[in-house]
Amino acid sequence: MPDASTKHCPYCAEEIRGEAIKCRYCGSSVAGHALSRTWYRSRTNRRIAGVCGGLADEFGISVTVLRLAFVLAALMSWGVGLVVYLALWVVMPYRPGPPRLAEGVPPRTLPGAPDRPDDDRRVEVFPAGPGTSS
């Protein structure tokens, strides 16, 4: 019999701590119903705005399935899926945390900061080894 500080996971029926947010056995969220919690857009799993990534994290399903569902809804319902996506984009905030840095984009310099000179790049030329033509 579980004591007062434990509860059962509604998805896998394993006994977990009473203050648990996620089940340690199946990984399901047990803190509350998905429709009563705040939905957040994903900063890391995003293609356009992070809506599908955030919903996939919240409901525990594949982000590919959600993206395909939005595309099919947009194509088969005269744009209703696109309107729903845009509405969620406007309504859903980003998940709190550090912003994602863009890959391959150099950071911007602060106004008034000295620029890096371009001549600080060094190119080293190695002599050709034996058996290679120069």
pLDDT in tens, the chain (134 residues): 555 688 888 778 888 888 887 788 877 777 666 566 678 888 787 788 888 888 888 888 888 988 898 888 888 888 888 888 888 888 888 877 766 555 555 556 556 655 555 555 555 666 666 766 65
Domain membership of residue 27 (yes or no) is yes
Structural domains counted in the chain: 2
Q: Which of 34, 12, 8, 11 is nearest to 20 (CA)?
A: 8
Same domain, 59 and 3: no
Please indicate, yes or no, whether the overall pTM of this predicted structure exceeds 0.95: no
Q: Are residues 21 and 62 in the same domain?
A: no
Domain, as residue range, for 82: 33-98
Instruction: With residue 56 as reference, give the H or E element that holds it.
Output: helix 51-59
- Do 4 and 14 fall within a single domain? yes
Same domain membership, residue 71 and residue 39: yes
Give residue 99's pLDDT.
61
pLDDT at position 27 = 76
Tell me, yes or no, whether 72 and 50 share the same domain: yes
pLDDT value at position 131?
Answer: 63
User: Tell me, what's the pLDDT at 118?
Assistant: 54
- Would 107 be classed as within a structural domain? no
Backbone angles phi, psi at 71, to 5 degrees: -65, -45
Does residue 44 sit in the same domain as residue 86? yes
The Cα 62–Cα 69 span in angstroms is 11
Does an H or E element contain 57, and which?
helix 51-59
What element of type H or E holds 8?
A: strand 6-8
Q: How far apart are CA 65 and CA 44, in angstroms?
A: 17
